[in-house]
Amino acid sequence: MKISEIFNLGKSQAELDFVDIDPSLDTALFLDPHFLSQRSDRWSQDAARTVKIFFRNLLDLLKSGDTQRAKTIFYSLSEPNETCLGLSRGSPQGRGVGAEDTQKIFESIQNSQAIISGLVEDLEDCVIFVENFGKDKLSDMTTNIIRLQLIEYTREQANLWDIPLSPAVQMGPCWDTDTSSWVNEHGEMLVVNGRRILLVPKGVVSYSKDYTPVKYHQHFVLNYLQDEHLKLNSSLVRRDHRKDGSIRVYVTKKDIKETESPGTKEYLIRFTEKHPSVFKKFKEEMKGQNESLTDSEFSDIDIESIIDHLMKELNEISPGREDASRYHDLIIGILELLFYPDVISPVKEQRIHEGRKRIDIVFDNAAESGIFHDLHEIHRLPCQYIFMECKNYSGDPNNPELDQLAGRFSPNRGKAGFLICRTIENMDLFLSRCIDTYRDDRGLIIPIVDSDLIKAMKERKNNKRLHLNKILRDRQREIQLKS
């Protein structure tokens, strides 16, 4: 059974921000620090920074000859199975870094010429150059290093969906970047059938198919060698006479593999030491590989049926305080379906100002395009977080509701938010109030009503994801142009 079924959430994967794992099985998805480092959202950047700090610390210890200290921090990488991600068969094994594997990996890293020569700068580089190190081990090491971030995320998701947590559970080793050491404390944890479980944002996992030795060898090393053989007119150069009289001159990658470039990690080290610019080019081009997986890649879901269910439930909820929580939870799922992967990591009733104020829903801005991206990059409006206020009112919201949301804004948190409500009869009047708020430099507030969500979901059934973006852009444009 999946997490959503165990805790009777009544939510599909499309409505959830986390990977809806089955704790009895491993899911063939991975945490890749390279992928994390390419993302712009706060959660990913914090996680990537933690990995980088840990690995730089390890490299410094190895290069300074402090092998014992390096072993101490490396051997604390326990065998993780809390995320249920990876390549294990049957029940989750966390095959990546068991006790025996830990020693082998450490010895491979310690003795690697790539480490000694300085080729390896980031943890993910080990996949390219270090023996006994693949994407499963990289993912498991990453899980260990960012365990604290995963624990915090799991607690936030539990709060979001009212999933019970167990108190005073040993959390497992967590890397403390301030002290460069491992700490193992007790705290609230998600426990299923006696096992600790860590939830992972679905936007940050991948198949780890890009940053690999195969891709580096096939598309960068061999491409370079093809050009070199052509320049030198070597014995590997072939010539084909075409019917039109022209001659095709070429070198096959197969010939290069067979004669000089087998693609082993040992060979990749030797090649890269001679031609560091090729690996630099590989790393640069891999920076653009940061697309999150789609919901259909996580599970076989019938998106049309899900949308039909959501629209039906939205129409059945009555305006008023009695159904406010139900409306709130439904809206979170709808926003997840419509906005993923542009926003991630929703937090319900986020406390600010030392707990004196709360925000209904706060998302991390992870957009690489669309309105959330453009607000920050083009309009220079701070929006590292996206604020959402839900009002299950029967009438139009007024100035107090606008003032409430505007009061949550700040340059550090962001100054863009959305007020979501059932209907607004006098949209022109409400937009005028939004214009006043924006003109006074109190932030950009854009209204969203049920009919907007329904139109967007109908378009989503036809695989058109940008309809809600268009609605929001039109209202954004009207507010900003008239301010």
Both tokens of residue 418? Answer: 């959305």
**Of 239, 327, 295, 293, which Cα lies nearest the Cα of 460?**
295
Give pLDDT tens digits for 15-68.
Answer: 999 999 999 999 999 999 999 999 989 999 999 999 999 999 999 999 999 999
- Cα-Cα-Cα-Cα torsion 135, 136, 139, 145, nearest 10 degrees, comes to -120
Q: Which two tokens stand for residue 139?
A: 């993912």
Look at residues 183, 174, 187, 201 and name the one whose alpha carbon lies nearest to residue 50: 174
Task: Give the model's pLDDT for residue 99.
Answer: 62
pLDDT digits (tens, 9 = 90+) for 437-478: 999 999 999 999 999 999 999 998 887 766 788 899 999 999
pLDDT at 21: 96
Q: Which two tokens stand for residue 22?
A: 């089955």
Find tokens 């790539």 and name the residue. 114
Chain-centroid distance, C-alpha 353 = 28
- pLDDT per residue as tens digits for the range 421-438: 999 999 999 999 999 999
Asked if pLDDT for residue 89 goes beyond 50, the answer is no
Q: Please say if the pLDDT value at position 199 is more than 90.
A: yes
Closest to 198 (Cα-Cα) out of 332, 63, 19: 19
CB 460 within 8 A of CB 434: no
**Confidence band of 219 (pLDDT split at 50, 70, 90):** very high
Residue 95 has pLDDT above 70, yes or no: no
Pairing of strands 416-421, 385-391: parallel
Which tokens go with 368?
């690489």
pLDDT, the chain, mean: 91
Q: How far is CA 390 from CA 6, 330, 422, 465, 481, in A?
A: 27, 10, 9, 22, 26
CA distances in angstroms from 253 to 83, 243, 271, 276, listed in the order given: 39, 25, 16, 20
Mean pLDDT, residues 386-392:
93
How many whole angstroms separate alpha carbon 346 and alpha carbon 153? Answer: 9
Alpha helices in 360-424 (DSSP H): 370-377, 399-406
The backbone region for 151, taken as left when phi is positive above 0, alpha when psi lies in -120 to 50, beta otherwise, is alpha
pLDDT tens-place string over residues 345-380 = 999 865 444 444 466 889 999 999 899 999 989 999
- Per the rule left: phi > 0, alpha: psi between -120 and 50, beta: everything else, 387 is beta
Burial class (CB in 10 A: 0-12, 13-18, 19+), 420: buried
Q: What are the CA-CA distances from residue 217 to residues 120, 324, 350 (Å)?
A: 16, 56, 47
Tell me whether strands 30-31 and 174-176 are parallel, antiparallel or unpaired. unpaired
DSSP states along 130-191 = -TT--HHHHHHHHHHHTHHHHHHHHHHHHHHHT---EEEEE---EEETTTTEEE--EEEEEE
- Comparing 109 with 467, which gets the higher pLDDT? 109
Q: Is the dihedral of CA 65, 67, 73, 74 positive or negative?
A: positive
| The predicted structure's pLDDT at residue 248 | 93
Across-strand partners of 186?
170
Q: What does the pLDDT look like over 274-306, one tens digit per residue?
A: 999 999 999 999 987 778 999 889 888 899 999
Q: pLDDT at residue 94 above 60?
A: no
pLDDT value of position 88: 61
pLDDT of residue 354: 47
Name the percent of the chain lying above pLDDT 90: 79
Q: What percent of the chain stands above pLDDT 70?
A: 94
Distance CA 322, CA 159 (A): 20
Map out the domains of the chain with their CATH numbers.
3-206 (no CATH), 213-286 (no CATH), 302-481 (3.40.91)
Are the C-beta atoms of 1 and 67 separated by less than 8 Å?
Answer: no
As a whole number of Å, the end-to-end CA separation of the chain is 52
> pLDDT tens-digit profile of 236-260?
999 998 888 899 999 999 999 999 9
Q: Are strands 385-391 and 357-365 parallel, antiparallel or unpaired?
A: antiparallel
Give residue-wise pLDDT tens across range 320-351: 999 999 999 999 999 999 999 999 999 986 54
Measured torsion, CA atoms of residues 128, 132, 138, 139, in degrees rounded to the nearest 10 = 130
Query: pLDDT confidence of 13, banded at 50, 70, 90?
Result: very high
Q: Which helix (H) or strand (E) holds 369?
A: none
